Structure 1
């Protein structure tokens, strides 16, 4: 995954991040997972070109607001049961890339309470917006 971060398209970008955003959501394919919410940790990295995110007047509308990441995740997780973490990641990535200032995004999700013998299980997706 780190080789993607060295892509020349990201050379002049600012990275915004949201770390370990904890949500309790209906996620999973097993019957027991469909009966109760599970704790999920979500991490997001947004890559925004410096020319679109360097404030000249110190105003919020000159940058991408962190609330965008949180509210986007909340909208998706409130939309109903999700079977797979892959689906959740793909949906959040697509919504983040729809923002006009975002060039690339990395999203990971983790379910920390699935197995007693490991810290978590999860998935990560990284995508760069097609500039063509």
Structure 2
């Protein structure tokens, strides 16, 4: 069974993320997702029905960003990982979030890796 890595890189969203009063309004957050996806066989017909359509991940992230927000980046990346693992073909997911505007000289972030048992 072939494995592929499906990547969504540098998806910028505005969302409420943080514990401080100044973070009560949406701020820029960059998310990157790498999913190791296993298929029964290699795609042969060159059709989207044969593979994971990453629109569901992008749409799901936008849905999370439009919601009430998160206090912690750790909670955000867990939610994105759970979204990805909802597709049984996803064997492993790596999610990175980065706050872009907290410091003038650095970004701050969190990254996790989750695997299917």
The normalised TM-score by structure 2 is 0.92
Q: How many aligned residue pairs are there?
A: 117
Q: Which has the higher helix share?
A: 1
Q: Which has the higher strand share?
A: 2
Distance 2:23 2:95 in 1: 22
Give runs of ≥4 in structure 1 deviating > 2 Å: none
Unmatched runs of 5 consecutive residues or more in structure 1: 1-11
Considering only aligned residues, what root-mean-square deviation do their CA atoms show, in Å?
Answer: 1.5
Identify the residue that residue 65 of structure 2 maps to in structure 1.
77
Identify the residue that residue 45 of structure 1 maps to in structure 2.
34
Q: Are the equivalent residues in 1 in contact too, given 2:57–2:83 (CA < 8 A)?
A: no
Unmatched runs of 5 consecutive residues or more in structure 2: none
Distance 1:37 1:78 in 2: 9
1:125 aligns with 2:115: no
The normalised TM-score by structure 1 is 0.82
Give per-residue Cα distances to partners, 1:111-130, cap 9 Å, x unaligned. Answer: 01101122x10000101101
Identify the residue that residue 33 of structure 1 maps to in structure 2.
23
Identify the residue that residue 5 of structure 1 maps to in structure 2.
none
1:23 aligns with 2:13: yes
Distance 1:81 1:124 in 2: 18
